[in-house]
Amino acid sequence: MNLEESISEYQPGGYHPVHLNDIYTSNLTAYKIIQKLGWGHFATVWLAKNLKTNQFVAIKIVKSSHNYFEAAEDEIKILSILNHDSNDDHHINDSIYNLGKNGVMKLLDHFIISGSNGNHIAIVFEILGENILSVIYKYKKEKLNQLSFSTNSIISNPSLIPINIIKDITKQILLSINYMHHRGIIHTDLKPENILIQYKGLINNKSSFKSTNFLLPLIPLNSKLDDSTTIKIADLGNATYSNLHFTNQIQTRQYRSPEILLKYKSWGASTDLWSIGCLLFELITGDYLFDPHDGINFDKDEDHLAQIIELLGEFPSINYLKDCKLSSKYFNINSKKNEISLKNIKTLKFWKLYDVFIDKYKFDPNDINIKLITDLILKCLRFNLDERYDCKSLLAHPWFDTNPTYNEDILKHLPNIHDDIPGYTSTWDMDD
């Protein structure tokens, strides 16, 4: 992994050269560059001080090429929608909707920098803490240290992060994404790296910051999560509108839904729910739910599909596959006999999610939490987009109760109502 961006990318169409103590001016204020926070493929990120308020901010300075410039403009438009109330907001009295409003990273300002390599959009964000991925790494390291001293401590508490904290983080994610979906925005790249911890208190000392190669800033890494931890959804550079999809090439591999893998006839906001299911498993175990690889006779996508089928214990239906452009590439389908098999992977090892938790991660089979979590994740991992639960429906799941109980009948009949979400299963026609 490269620790710094390539110098060769500092050219017309590429990065803007930034120096410490540089001052950039917007229509609102001026910003003084304090230190570098990180970089990504299409931007560098800097710690800066608002010279009017003396508060620290993060400034993302995007490459100047036309494609990146346009993408940054789209990100600003999407963030502006999410950061401001709509005049025709018919969800204004919905308490669950309102609880998610503050769960999306705040856009503070934006302006254009004209430099030697062209015109660059600069986007100013609130400062937040480390991302959930770094938290997972921290807890994994702690678990390994525990393992070296006592195996029993691991078995008695197999969850990577304490369950009560995972529950609270999951609830906040669902609230935030529910808000986004009802505003007609799909994230399309939900993963631990894009969920940040909100820093508590005013930051007024640059030594609080630690440089990182992540796109967004990290701040004090010595704190642990607790019941008061607040998260925010970040990195909306790949987000799209429910009524206008910028691209069908979405989602990071491990969190990618089958409708994207198979090029199903449509996709919508429900694709974020698949990613949430994968993410929840990762919070609990520290491992990817699906981590496909190329084989001698099969590619990564077919392995991905095989892993999904093995976990769910079933193939997608023939009717579903008929509406997928790539079904014939990966499946043998015999409609008359109602038989389906993968083209190149002949042997499948079915291992259902609950059994994975029990057999691989050594959870107690009688653990109510793990039974409920299994059900919640599986409600995210439905092939049929209409059957995939939305965020608001999942927030009514018994796992979020103060004293949760497991009742199969209640779980089976848990309402799944997403008719009020624009484009939940497909591109939404604004005229509908």
Q: Are 187 and 104 in contact (CB under 8 A)?
A: no
pLDDT of residue 2: 72
pLDDT value of residue 88: 66
pLDDT at 354: 98
Helices (H), 252-386: 258-261, 270-285, 300-312, 318-322, 327-330, 353-355, 368-380
Sign of the CA dihedral with 110 first, then 96, 201, and 46 last = negative
60 annotated as a binding-site residue: yes
What's the pLDDT at 208?
A: 52
Q: Residue 139 half-sphere exposure, CB side, CA atoms within 13 Å? A: 25
pLDDT at 213 (0 to 100): 35
DSSP class of residue 75 equals H
Question: What amino acid occupies position 363?
Answer: F
Measured CA to CA, the distance from residue 167 to residue 225 in angstroms comes to 12
Apex CA 230: angle with CA 226 and CA 232, to 5°?
A: 140
CB 350 within 8 A of CB 310: yes
Q: Is the dihedral of CA 407, 412, 418, 423 positive or negative?
A: positive
d(CA 96, CA 392): 7
- Give CA–CA dist 99/196, Å, rounded: 17
| pLDDT computed for residue 1 by the predictor | 59
Q: Count CB neighbours of 328 within 10 A.
A: 11
- pLDDT value of residue 349: 96
**pLDDT for the residue numbered 217:** 42
Sign of the torsion angle spanned by Cα atoms 18, 134, 227, 101: positive
Q: Are strands 339-342 and 185-186 parallel, antiparallel or unpaired?
A: unpaired
Total residues belonging to the chain: 432
pLDDT of residue 427: 72
Catalytic residue among 189, 303, 375, 390: 189
**Which two structure tokens, joined as six digits, stand for 259?**
């409708």
Local confidence pLDDT in tens for the 432 residues of the chain? 577 999 999 999 999 999 999 999 999 999 999 999 999 899 999 999 999 999 999 999 999 999 999 999 999 999 999 998 876 666 767 889 999 999 999 999 999 999 999 999 999 999 988 899 999 999 998 888 877 766 554 456 789 999 999 999 999 999 999 999 999 999 999 999 999 998 665 454 555 555 443 334 444 444 567 767 899 999 999 999 999 999 999 999 999 999 999 999 999 999 999 999 999 999 999 999 999 999 999 999 999 999 999 999 999 999 999 999 999 999 999 999 999 999 999 999 999 999 999 999 999 999 999 999 999 999 999 999 999 999 999 999 999 999 999 999 999 999 999 999 999 998 755 443
pLDDT confidence of residue 430: 40
Helix 163-182, helix 270-285: angle, nearest 10: 170
What residues pair up with 120 in beta bridges, in sequence order?
Answer: 113
Q: Is 227 a catalytic site residue?
A: no
pLDDT value at residue 142: 86
**DSSP H helical ranges for 183-269:** 258-261
Query: Under DSSP, is residue 39 helix (H, G, I), strand (E, B) or coil?
Result: strand
Q: 176 φ, ψ to 5°?
A: -65, -45
114-148: string of b/e by CB count within 10 Å (b at 16+)? eeebbebbbbbbbbbbbbbebbbebbeeebeeeee
d(CA 358, CA 363): 5
Please state which CATH number belongs to domain 158-189+235-432.
Answer: 1.10.510.10
Tokens found for residue 326: 């790539």
Which residues share a beta bridge with 59? 46, 124
pLDDT value at residue 224:
60
